[in-house]
Structure 1
Amino acid sequence: MAMSLCTYCNSYSSKIPIVFVLGFYVSIVAARWWDQFLALPWPDQVSLYLLAHLPGPTTQEILYRRNIVRYINASYCLALRSVSSRARLRFPTEEHLVTAGILTSDELELLRNSGPVDIRGEYYIPINWAHDLVQKARKDMLIKSEYAADAIIQAINDFRGCLGSIFVYDWINPPLVYTQTATICVYSYFLFNIFAWQFIDQPQDSVAQNIDIYVAESLINPFGEDDDDFEIEYMIERNLEMSFAIVHGIMQDQPQALKGNLNHKSVLQLPNWGKMNQSQVQITVDACDEEEQGDRPDLEQQLDPNLDVNNDYLFLGSLANFKVPGYEDITPSGERSSLWNRALKVFQFNRSNSR
């Protein structure tokens, strides 16, 4: 009896298309996971459009830019509170948005009194406020042309469209029947093989096929609280920091349009630092008119004589001391790229030895 049962299970376990079912299911879930990340909007484009089409250092212009990016970040937070448990933990109630400075108490009251809008639909209201500010800036002639105003509004609409895509992914999940089919196939396969493997000394595929279903189950909701889910808290803080830095911070000092050394060359050839020794490094000037040579900068004076051109990290010279404001606060050191940290260490080590 036992021999017949094992033979029966061995014959039917090979008929379960476990590789096809799991491979197709995991590919769908993995592609969906990546598409959801690509659908997340970033406020950088809106901020750059505002800086380009609504420039100026006056208080009124700065307030317009800051309030517009504040409204799109408020829309971002309101939308993610509906789909992400991490965002919900970061902002448990709408009052926490007021405490964080993303909304004011008057704006929150206006948001709640804007009509019979559920929690999934209220995110578009700050988008409307941003549209109104763009129209007011155009009416006050702070935005010089209709084309510029339309470009800013289109960028805001694209931002809202990405938030809508996130809601669609949260609303329409992979068909439950296919998830159930994949799960039943996997567990049935192992149930049959409890007896079928009595005739197999070393099963080859059990571990890999068992892991595949767990991979798909962990990737099906990237807005959860697992270690491999999206870092929604970092994205919220990063978007706030970057958008406000673009519209207010980085425009204080702008470089002048000077005649650089590369402006005189029709064909650009960059030096290969890795194949040149210290004695071979000579920055020469291409042949040009004698009148123009007096106006061109001396690049030998711009290079640090202590730099070792043989190391691979020469290009990091201008970035060694560069830090984004608030970077240490919003990004734990353990999450940064180890390659970048090693590059900086090697560069600083070579700098200290050369001195």
Structure 2
Amino acid sequence: MSQNQTVVDGSTNESQDVAPSNFSDPGIPAHKHRLGDSDPKAARRSETIVVTLFVISMLGTIGLLVAFFALPDDTSVAGVRTQNITLGVALAFALLGIGLGAIHWAKSLMSDTEVAEDRHATESSQEVRAEAVAKIQAGVEDAGVERRGVLKGAMVGALALFPLGLAVPLIGEVGADWNISKFRHTIWRKGVRLATDPTNRPIKASDVTVGSAYHVIPYQDDIDESVRPGTHAWLDEKAKAIVLMVRMDPSEITEADDRKDWSHEGIVAYSKVCTHVGCPVALYERQTHHLLCPCHQSTFDMADGAKVVFGPAKRPLPQLPITVDDEGYLVAQSDFTEPVGPSFWERLK
């Protein structure tokens, strides 16, 4: 068989070089005009909508500034600061107003006529470039940008005001409290009872069974009144003081020599604040005694000093030294012996 023949279904056919077919340029489909292109009233309605959206953005930014300066930061709703809720809602309106306004402007008012331009050499000739500029100018004229002064003013106003919503809170924090020593301590003190979160019920050691896990906070009657629930300070202090307490078989626990008296009959308590970026670690696996952080999967071994066994965290969870009082309630022996949570400047370890 010669080289210029191929076998197809048992028969021989001479192979030929087939030239590619020439397809005609389908061109651009017929332009579908929008209602606003032919109806001035529809165009004005679209312009009004866009202006309204930009005004909403401006009002959102102004509302954010008012909330930042006027609302107290010590009131809360369902545990969330009222000021934070208001700032979030105002910022949402500021962003949505600009975004939706720009989208509606582009879809309803700006020219949507498709223009085809043949490209050959990388650098176009002066005539081609002049033609391109003319087409752009024609598009601008078709969109009526020059005629819509109110529209331009609303857009410029929204864009000019919006950065204040980000800059003012940042500038306002310049004079904030930068005392980092408060990160080194929590409201745990000697004799403060361990209580369930959020019911604030003191916990007796006899009620804690092997394998159980408790989300723990300081018993509110044992701490200073200035940081009790209902105060702004309570939210900050509770965030640092949250603890996960579990009870294991004492034979399964590995304890350093200087920490053998920090637990009570297999009951150990560790900070719930992840040492990676501060997320609450609360997913306890009873069989392995592993504690998982849901944010970035850092895993700590509760049976071995809460050491890191997986994930990006670099330090074990701080342990809260505990014991029992005369009534059998679990109490703290002291505060944590090291700062809780992730690293910060001037931290020694």
User: What TM-score comes out, normalization by structure 2 length?
Assistant: 0.24
Task: Select the structure that is richer in strand.
Answer: 2
Higher relative contact order (CA 8 A, sep 6+): 1
- The TM-score with structure 1 as length reference comes to 0.24
